[in-house]
Structure 1
Amino acid sequence: MNGMQKVLVVDNGERAPDSALSAELAGLGYASVTTPFEAADDVLALIPSPAAVVLQMPRHANWSERKRFLELATRLRKTLAASHTPVIITGGEGGTATLLQNELNTRAVAAAEF
C-alpha cells in the first residue's frame, strides 16, 4: 500500500456503504484515507503528499454544512497550491473516482509538457 498514491477523502463522518469511495479509488490504483471533517487537518499532516483531497459533501447537506465544506476547500486550495494537489468537492454521487482520475491525468500531462 505504500507504493500507491494516497487520496485523502473528507466527509461528515456518516458513511453509507453505497457511497464508499475507497473501493472505486482502489480500482483505479489509489489508496484512500477517509476522515471526518473535524479531523481533516490532523490527518492531512500525517500524509506527506496526497495525490488529491476529495471533500465528499453529503447529498442532502444543509446550507451551513455546505458552507463548512466550501470554506475548507478554499483554505486547502491555498495551503496545497504550492504542491499542485487538487482539492475536489463532490456531492456524494458516484463517479467521483473518474472525476479524480481525469483531474490527475490532466495535471500529469501538463507537468510533462514543461
Structure 2
Amino acid sequence: MLGLKQEALALALGDDWSQKRVSLMEGKEVIEEDILAQVATILKVPVEAIKNLDEDKAVQIIANTFNDEAVAYAQYYKCNINPMEKWIESLEEIKQLHEEIKKLYERLLAK
C-alpha cells in the first residue's frame, strides 16, 4: 500500500489492527470513510489520492519517468571518452615526438 509495509500500517492504525486485517482491507472494493481517512493521514496523502488511485496509470507514470540517466550507476554507465579520438591524439603525439627526434638527430649529424 503506497510503499508502506502492511505491518507498519497495522501498527499505525492501532491495537485492533494486524497485518492480516490490513491485507484484507487492501482487497476490499469499498473501505469505510473513517478508516480511509486514518490511512490517508498515516500516508500523508489526501483521501482523494487513495480513492482515485489507478495502479496501471501510476506504474505507467513511474516507468515513463525513468531513463538511462535515472539509474544509480549512470555516471559510470556511459563512456564520455571517444576511444578513436584518444587513439588519434596518441598518434599525433607520437608523430610530433618523431619529428622532434628527427630534428635532434639532424643537428647531431650536422656537428
With the length of structure 2 as denominator, give the TM-score of the two structures.
Answer: 0.29
Where relative contact order (Cα < 8 A, 6+ residues apart) is larger, the structure is 1
Which of 1 and 2 has greater Rg?
2
Q: Which has the higher strand share?
A: 1
